Amino acid sequence: MVERHHVDEIAQVLDGHATGRDSYVDASWRRCVEIYGMDPTRRDPAHIVTDAEFRTHREQADWMIGAARSCLQNLFRQVAGQNYVLLLTDAKGVCVDFFGDDLFLDDLRGAGLYLGSNWSEDLAGTCGVGACIVTGEPVTVHQDDHFGNAHTDLSCTSAPIYDSLGQLAAVLDISLLRSPSPKSSQNLAMSLVMAAARRVEMANLMAASRGEWVLRFSSSPEFLDVDPEAAVALDGSGKVIGATRAATRMLSGGRNLIGAPIDSLLGLSVDDLPDLMRDRPTEERVVALDDGGAVFGHAIAPQAPRRMQKVNHALQKRAQGWFGGALAGSDPTMSRVLSQAERLASTSVPLVICGESGSGKTKLARAIHMASRRRGFAVLDCAGAGPEDMREALSAQSGPTTLLLLRIENLSSETAQLLPGLLDAHPDLRPVATSGQSLTPGASREALPSELLFRLSGSVLELPPLRERQDLGWLIDRLLSRRSGGEMRLTPSARAELMARDWPGNLRELGNVLDVACALAESSVIDLPDLPAASQARKQEQDLEAVLDACNWNMARAARRLGVNRSTVLRRIRKERLRAPD
């Protein structure tokens, strides 16, 4: 009886009569007859893909299954005991993940509510998943909304899940084998499935955009940080490179947002993003929409290093403690050097730390001393240290002591000759020397007596220059936070500018630039005009004589201006054979 009535109703729709069904149901019925050539009186069994096909579908949807799983588990917990079953299908309609009550597994399998069933409309007729794929919208296909007679007991509510580029990626479906008669009984199921789809899209966007700015939105300040409604990912220039479906609706009425500059969509530019970060009260983070409305915004800064490379996590883990967390982010060369330093720290092996000026040699030497647990610490700047200074410095020490020799290439030949003998006479001293010259075999360097070199270089640690490090972003954040106690932050353009510079003066130059920027910035946000020009710093370094003249040949002042230390200035004066005017 019901079947006859169902077939008659479909015939009425085909004749163009309104039957009171939702328009997407009418449209789907028409497609079933006119395009797929289906017969509503047939009770076709569920369409199950072969094992091999299922494996392929599952492999391709692997990332989506991972992203959706915890959300599906939560949703299933919410509807537990109400006989709902949850299906995640791929964009072709094949069920690749499933949550249902074990008690009804046989019934669910029989009805096609199980892994591997294909719910595309051209095979299964009008159904939740199929109609959702065709319309791209959430739908409820309730009981005899279904086209085929085999499915008219089911109630299926489905919501689409889009990837961050706006392509349909999956469908989340919540179904009942048997349900109360009114379709409105599924309104709550519809809210739940739409909220879950939104959260899965959000999780996907966040996972895919760790290295980018993400701007999240909520219409209520209370939920902004905990359960935002929509999000976009932005590149450094402020162009949208990813968006959730809700963001597409909110910002452009559903038109694809990819490639659109954020200032064409909202009353803000990319440089305003730091103002929307979490440490500002939520109520103050208001973003004006194009239509005159407003929402609350939460900006999340990029988290990944600028160039992705496989990092040896075992090495990184070993270089924690005194070394890892304070000295480097994710840079493979630094991880290797710090791991060696950590293992050598507690030994008595004499060390030489090489690297360009300002690359952090002294800082590393101090970390090695701290980790060595030696009590005494003596520092000697080799530039200008005569034999007497050396003798005095060494004999003033007692007990296990680290002797930090800064810039051994600056030792006078007289002192260099004397040093091996002095060290032999003080076996408690562990020399740790820094050098601006590479000691790797074949590297050109100014002559140091080979006896001294053997005596000092039990092991050589080579620090990479800043321009070769992959943790520049981490260093910028660390140095800035140390200078401002976490108060100051950079606009994306200022950050991009710093990331693009060469840093001939290495960490010291970076530190100086941030000092200037902090001083010049008028608020807690550092923008492009607050940064000293890069070319100026480089030119100054090249034009040593001009800087010395400008500083009245005051070495300390010239060193500060050039972003190097005093001994580097002295060495370059010698090398370039410069002389102060009489």
- For ligand ATP, the binding residues (CB under 6 A) are 326-327, 355, 357-363, 434, 436, 478-479, 507-508, 511, 564-565, 568
Nearest CB to ligand ATP, comparing residues 297 and 436: 436
C-alpha R_g of the chain:
34
Q: How far apart are CB 365 and ligand ATP at their closest, in Å?
A: 8
Structure tokens at 165: 């580029």
Q: How far apart are CB 312 and ligand ATP at their closest, in Å?
A: 19
Nearest CB to ligand ATP, comparing residues 306 and 391: 306
Which amino acid is it at 403?
A: L
Nearest CB to ligand ATP, comparing residues 125 and 332: 332
Cβ(177)–Cβ(111) below 8 Å: yes
Cβ(378)–Cβ(404) below 8 Å: yes
Structure tokens at 496: 């991009």
Nearest CB to ligand ATP, comparing residues 199 and 407: 407
How many angstroms separate the CA atoms of 167 and 498, rounded? 35
Structure tokens at 310: 């496989």
How many angstroms separate the CA atoms of 115 and 386, rounded? 81
Q: How far apart are CB 514 and ligand ATP at their closest, in Å?
A: 10
Question: To the nearest 5 percent, what fractions of the chain are helix, strand and coil?
Answer: 45, 15, 35
DSSP structural state of residue 61? T
Q: How far apart are CB 256 and ligand ATP at their closest, in Å?
A: 43
Nearest CB to ligand ATP, comparing residues 418 and 433: 433
Q: How far apart are CB 334 and ligand ATP at their closest, in Å?
A: 9
Q: How far apart are CB 577 and ligand ATP at their closest, in Å?
A: 21
How many angstroms separate the CA atoms of 453 and 362, rounded? 19
Torsion of CA 315, 365, 445, 512, to 10 degrees: 100
Q: How far apart are CB 379 and ligand ATP at their closest, in Å?
A: 11
Nearest CB to ligand ATP, comparing residues 374 and 508: 508
Nearest CB to ligand ATP, comparing residues 128 and 464: 464
Q: How far apart are CB 327 and ligand ATP at their closest, in Å?
A: 4
Nearest CB to ligand ATP, comparing residues 92 and 469: 469
What sign results for the dihedral spanned by CA atoms 502, 503, 507, 513?
negative
Cβ(273)–Cβ(267) below 8 Å: no
What sign results for the dihedral spanned by CA atoms 323, 329, 330, 333?
negative
Nearest CB to ligand ATP, comparing residues 137 and 446: 446
Query: What are the counts of helices (DSSP H) followed by strands (DSSP E) for the chain?
Result: 23, 17
How many angstroms separate the CA atoms of 130 and 396, rounded? 85
Q: How far apart are CB 358 and ligand ATP at their closest, in Å?
A: 5
| Sheet order of strands, 376-381 included | 376-381, 401-406, 429-435, 351-354, 459-462
